[in-house]
Amino acid sequence: GAVVSQHPSRVICKSGTSVKIECRSLDFQATTMFWYRQFPKQSLMLMATSNEGSKATYEQGVEKDKFLINHASLTLSTLTVTSAHPEDSSFYICSASHRDRAFGTQYFGPGTRLLVL
């Protein structure tokens, strides 16, 4: 159990376009989902925390108007990179916390590799 999926797994887009990434908890309800960004050979950097039905909380330095997060249900959160530029190219990973705290921890998705040309 505790499977998190992401779609798409990789995407290539032109500069100036918007890209939407979906994160789904497949077999559990997630009250909280997290979005991370990871550059090559670096650690995961938290971008934002998303709670179902409320606005996301963004980390310092992350532009909320550029990285739009929607958490419309207990199993789905989306990250939209608006007006993408080459510097937005990165590996984006989501994670989800089980609604039942007894299960604990965060379960990570497989990641989405974004390349902006």
**Contact residues: another protein, CB under 8 A:** 4, 6, 32, 34, 42-44, 46, 49, 93, 95, 97-98, 101, 104-111, 113
Q: How far is the CB of 111 from another protein (least distance, A)?
A: 5
Using the minimum distance from each CB to another protein, give the nearer residue, 37 or 88.
37
Q: How far is the CB of 66 from another protein (least distance, A)?
A: 21
Q: How far is the CB of 65 from another protein (least distance, A)?
A: 22
Find tokens 């989902």 and name the residue: 33
Using the minimum distance from each CB to another protein, give the nearer residue, 5 or 15.
5
Q: Which one, of 34, 61, 37, 60, lies nearest residue 48 by Cα?
A: 34
Using the minimum distance from each CB to another protein, give the nearer residue, 88 or 92.
92
Using the minimum distance from each CB to another protein, give the nearer residue, 8 or 104.
104
> Contact at 8 Å (CB) between 72 and 22?
no
Non-local (6+) Cβ contacts of 25 within 8 A are 2, 3, 4, 33, 74, 75, 76, 96, 107
Token pair for residue 65?
């108007």
Q: How far is the CB of 76 from another protein (least distance, A)?
A: 17
Peptide bond before residue 8 is cis, with ω within 30 degrees of 0? yes
